[in-house]
Chains A and B, each alone.
Chain A
Amino acid sequence: MSGLRSEFIRNFSIIAHIDHGKSTLADRLIEYTGLVESVDIRPQLLDDMELERERGITIKAHAVTMNYHRSEGREFVLNLIDTPGHVDFSYEVSRSLAACEGAILLVDASQGVEAQTIANAYLALEHDLTLIPVMNKIDLISARPEVVRQQIVDLTGCQPEEVLSVSAKEGTGVRYLLDAIVDRIPAPAPLIEKPLQALIFDSLFDNYRGAIAYVRVVSGALKAGMNIFFYSSGKRYSVDEVGLLKLKRHPVDRLAAGEVGYVIPGCKEVSETRVGDTIGDATAAASKPLPGYREPKPMVYSGLFPADAEEYEALRDALARLKLNDASLQYEPETSGSLGFGFRCGFLGLLHLEIVQERLEREYGLNLVTTVPNVKYRITLSDAQVVYIDNPAHLPPYTNIEKMEEPIVKAQIVTPPDYIGPVMQLSNERRGLYENTEYLDAGRTVLHYRLPLSEIIYDFYDRLKSISRGYASFDYEHAGWEVTTMVKLDIMLNGELVDALSVLVNEDKAYAWGRRVVDKLAEVIPRQMFEVAIQAAVNSRIIARATVRALRKNVLAKCYGGDVTRKRKLLEKQKEGKKRMKMMGHVEVPQEAFLAILKSD
């Protein structure tokens, strides 16, 4: 097939709060349209990565093309473009939505509207998408269809009867939903005669084929063999192959305006096929790219060091390979006095950091030490020069700093009214600036806050969940810079500065952070042959201190000598244990120390 008339095409996403059943619904649509037999179905068909299935989240966007016979007999092509389900990947979400004409707004019929539902609904409306509101999990005893329907009406301004009810798990209502997709979502504009414009909404790297871009052809057509170019880099390629995404890649001659599929341009790096970029026809007269392209912008920075110095090269190679598949990952070499050679890496968010770290450890067998993540600060120096700092070690002397600014987010926190008090308290602790409260209904309140990004990258989400018994949810978008005063908090072990433990922390929070870190370190640093003094300092002034007493006994003091083997094995075990230690200021620090500092109590 190809060159289908656009009036028979529907392009849509499913947007939902985490755990509201997005992947299950996608599975059901795929099954219903006959793409796979239900017996073959494994849950989360679209989630390829082992990590995605394990964590139950979608990290990468995916797409699938399905054929659907509307009751009167016409066959439609439905392109489902899945979106990543985490705020770290909100730019990727926006590109996926830009590739669609409509979206299914999926809401759990017992949980109701959550923060991500709101954020995604706004995002969809910003992209002028037609929303199909759908309540999922109506089979649950705890389902509250009337309440949740009203929430959806209040949120989207739709009519109550427009809200569909499904049970993705049981398949109830899926047929009506498919009909609604065909009936309500507009067909793509028929722009086949215009010059080629194709939007890249995802890309991946294939070991055999190189970079593969997932695209929505907006105008013109993409054909195998044609010469294309990428607007962001201006680089030209000849197309190896184009095709449809039907769980597996399915080559076709061309993809015409309105269609969704993949293109293999024969480039070796995924960074050439950037999400949000536009593909144009290299031979046609200059035209404009589609709007909305943005360079991937890391928000969170952290040092990644190999636990074993000899694994530096392996880490470098692994990062290079990961980068092939993840253009948003940024890294550059970093040297730490205490951790040796490693990399300063930029991530979209903390989840992205965790995913990269886990993939490096799992897929590449590396053993890593990760330093405390921080955001990037904008600093105006006395001579009016502006610098960006993403590493505490690079903070200029305070006397040279005229102004320091930090990234701010606009956050929506959805909570039952019972937890407004604790949520506000938490937000205040995190230097949040309250803006206003919205009442969705009797059971749901939205608190709007401006929060420093640095305050939410550690454990804000976990704390929010724990103070609200899991009921509150949270989403945010970036909202520029605000003036702040951050100080560099240093940690010293027996008087020696351990640069890998330094953090930038708000002036008002330095004492609390210092206290917490020295106490945590005192817990995780094992007793050693001498006393270990742990000190936190700001500007060389000690603000917190803890002590690990000297070890007094570590030997098997038994009489029977013949069993030398046991003694030696015990010693070897200890030698092995030391390998998981880092020497810092002559003190052995277990790798877990870095992790422990990150965890809240």
Chain B
Amino acid sequence: MRLDWNRSLQYIKRMTEFALYVHYPFCLSRCRYCGFASEVHDDAKAGHYHRALLKEMEDQTGKPPWCNGRLRSIYFGGGTPALMPPEYLNDIMEGVGNRLEYPPGIEVTLETNPAVCNMDNLRSFRELGVNRLSIGAQSFHDPELAFLGRIHSAADIKSAVEQARRAGFDNVSLDLIYGVPGQTVESFRISVQRALELKMDHLSTYALSIEKGTAFARLIEAGRLPKTDPDFTAEQYAELCRVMQDAGFDHYELTNFARPGRQSQHNWTYWRRIPYLGLGTAAHSFDGWRRCWNTRDTAVYIDLIYLGKTALKDEEVLLPEEEIEEIIYLGLRTMDGVDEAVVGEASTPETVNELLSHGFLIRSGGRLHVPENKWLLLDEIAVRLLSKNPSI
């Protein structure tokens, strides 16, 4: 590890605000494509996990740099954090309230699965301060949902959104997945339109990637499932962009769309490299200088925290030039793009001009962006930009 204490201290002193991510790894069942840290719900284990989580929060928020900062958003991700008994969520929100300062009305998001939504828990969550609900819809076609291993139907999504509205959520996001074998451009467009009919405020999309150890990976390896086709995925993405633009959404990041004023504050922390504290299994933290992440094994996580240790799996500190590359790469994922002067530090004017002249970059107001129709080529573009290669 490359330690630079002067830089570290600067960041610690500079820490003003940060986001909080809380991971809840339990689900009712595992989806066949899911490579996130998740496992099937178990009451006893969930209880241990909850206590560990509270302890980790206590440990982390009590010391620098987090104790110096102010919260700007909270995000409960998973897994299925909506499976949490409302008391658990209450404990966490109370803990946060007791330890950390935050202005009123900050964004507090909870991820949920349509199958676990009901008026009771939604009302409780809303009362406890959750003001944004992210519903894992994935598709509005029952056969696709079954194929993905989802435990809900298209009808469940509709009812979940309606219940959320009744429970007082005026900010609802849906997740949709594409690039799925068997899906078509048309079937995906219909899912997007069904989501729009429900008048959701925000849409996150997920291009299926085959992750190691998932049921899908095993099926592909056995030759029983075709590999994902990037061309087909790209066609679906183009259609998605078109439909969402017609619906008046901002495409504010590669994978995220929002009605004006409904961009996710929490999401932006990642792309803008604002610090975030992650708690729980596999959670990542970034203090502006160091990025670290917890173990992916929930049982190990619980043990380590109980033993009074950190659950850290690994960490990394970027060199100044790597940091600039990351600023560029993350910035180009967003509609903000990146300051041209920053690009100048990591690339050459010839390279930038070449990319501009071929329409892989656009320039406006001193910033460089990747146009929407080239976003899926971002890695290709970034590699050329950062390897200072003027030829295209």
Interface residues, chain A, with chain B CB atoms under 8 Å away: 528-530, 551-565, 567-568, 570-571, 574-575, 578, 583, 586
Of B283, B329, B378, B392, the residue contacting A554 (CB under 8 A) is B378
- Which residues of the other chain, B, contact A583 by a CB distance below 8 angstroms? 389, 391
Of B175, B269, B381, the residue contacting A559 (CB under 8 A) is B175
> Would you list 29 pairs from A and B whose C-beta atoms are within 8 A, ordered by A residue?
A529-B380, A552-B235, A553-B230, A553-B231, A553-B234, A554-B376, A554-B378, A554-B379, A555-B254, A555-B376, A555-B377, A556-B209, A557-B207, A557-B255, A559-B175, A559-B205, A559-B255, A560-B77, A562-B276, A564-B291, A564-B326, A565-B284, A568-B325, A571-B329, A575-B387, A578-B387, A578-B389, A583-B391, A586-B392
Interface residues, chain B, with chain A CB atoms under 8 Å away: 21, 36, 77, 175, 204-207, 209, 230-231, 233-235, 237, 254-256, 267, 269-271, 276, 278, 283-284, 286, 291, 293, 316, 322, 325-326, 329-330, 358, 360, 375-384, 386-387, 389, 391-392
Report whether B293 and A563 are in contact in the complex, using a CB–CB cutoff of 8 Å.
yes
Q: Which residue of A lies closest to B235 (CB)?
A: A552
Report whether B254 and A575 are in contact in the complex, using a CB–CB cutoff of 8 Å.
no
A554-B379, A557-B376 known; A565 and B316 CB under 8 Å?
A: yes
A562-B283, A578-B387 known; A552 and B206 CB under 8 Å?
A: no
Of B207, B270, B376, the residue contacting A562 (CB under 8 A) is B270
Among A556, A560, A570, A586, max chain B CB count under 10 A is at: A560
In whole angstroms, what is the CA distance A586 to B354 when docked? 11
- Which residues of the other chain, B, contact A529 by a CB distance below 8 angstroms? 358, 360, 377, 380-381, 384, 392
Known A-B contacts: A529-B358, A564-B284. Give 19 more (CB < 8 A). A529-B377, A529-B380, A529-B384, A551-B380, A552-B231, A552-B233, A553-B234, A554-B230, A554-B377, A555-B376, A555-B378, A557-B254, A561-B270, A562-B284, A565-B316, A567-B329, A568-B326, A571-B379, A575-B386
B234 CB, min distance to chain A CBs, angstroms: 4
In whole angstroms, what is the CA distance A557 to B375 when docked? 9
Report whether B391 and A553 are in contact in the complex, using a CB–CB cutoff of 8 Å.
no
Q: Which residue of B lies closest to A558 (CB)?
A: B206
- Which residues of the other chain, A, contact B377 by a CB distance below 8 angstroms? 529, 551-555
- Which residues of the other chain, A, contact B254 by a CB distance below 8 angstroms? 555, 557
- Which residues of the other chain, B, contact A530 by a CB distance below 8 angstroms? 358, 392
B355 CB, min distance to chain A CBs, angstroms: 9
In whole angstroms, what is the CA distance A557 to B255 when docked? 6
B340 CB, min distance to chain A CBs, angstroms: 20
- Which residues of the other chain, B, contact A586 by a CB distance below 8 angstroms? 391-392
- Which residues of the other chain, A, contact B384 by a CB distance below 8 angstroms? 529
- Which residues of the other chain, B, contact A557 by a CB distance below 8 angstroms? 205-207, 209, 237, 254-255, 376
In whole angstroms, what is the CA distance A578 to B387 when docked? 9
B214 CB, min distance to chain A CBs, angstroms: 13
Report whether B383 and A571 are in contact in the complex, using a CB–CB cutoff of 8 Å.
yes
Report whether B237 and A559 are in contact in the complex, using a CB–CB cutoff of 8 Å.
no
Question: Which 8 interchain pairs have the tightest Cβ spacing?
Answer: A561-B270, A552-B234, A557-B207, A562-B284, A553-B230, A553-B376, A555-B378, A559-B204
In whole angstroms, what is the CA distance A563 to B291 when docked? 9
Q: Which residue of A lies closest to B318 (CB)?
A: A568
Q: Which residue of A lies closest to B276 (CB)?
A: A562
A528 CB, min distance to chain B CBs, angstroms: 7
B63 CB, min distance to chain A CBs, angstroms: 20
In whole angstroms, what is the CA distance A561 to B358 when docked? 29
B207 CB, min distance to chain A CBs, angstroms: 4
Among A559, A568, A571, A586, max chain B CB count under 10 A is at: A559
A551-B380, A555-B379 known; A565 and B209 CB under 8 Å?
A: no
Report whether B21 and A562 are in contact in the complex, using a CB–CB cutoff of 8 Å.
yes
B83 CB, min distance to chain A CBs, angstroms: 18
In whole angstroms, what is the CA distance A583 to B322 when docked? 24
In whole angstroms, what is the CA distance A356 to B380 when docked? 35
Of A555, A567, A570, the residue contacting B375 (CB under 8 A) is A555
Report whether A564 and B270 are in contact in the complex, using a CB–CB cutoff of 8 Å.
yes
In whole angstroms, what is the CA distance A316 to B230 when docked? 43
A454 CB, min distance to chain B CBs, angstroms: 33
- Which residues of the other chain, A, contact B209 by a CB distance below 8 angstroms? 556-558
- Which residues of the other chain, B, contact A567 by a CB distance below 8 angstroms? 329
In whole angstroms, what is the CA distance A110 to B21 when docked? 74
Report whether B376 and A578 are in contact in the complex, using a CB–CB cutoff of 8 Å.
no
B228 CB, min distance to chain A CBs, angstroms: 10
Q: Which residue of A lies closest to B292 (CB)?
A: A565
Report whether B230 and A552 are in contact in the complex, using a CB–CB cutoff of 8 Å.
yes
- Which residues of the other chain, A, contact B21 by a CB distance below 8 angstroms? 562
Q: Which residue of A lies closest to B322 (CB)?
A: A568
- Which residues of the other chain, A, contact B322 by a CB distance below 8 angstroms? 568
Among B267, B379, B381, B389, max chain A CB count under 10 A is at: B379
Report whether A563 and B230 are in contact in the complex, using a CB–CB cutoff of 8 Å.
no
Report whether B379 and A570 are in contact in the complex, using a CB–CB cutoff of 8 Å.
yes
- Which residues of the other chain, A, contact B392 by a CB distance below 8 angstroms? 529-530, 586
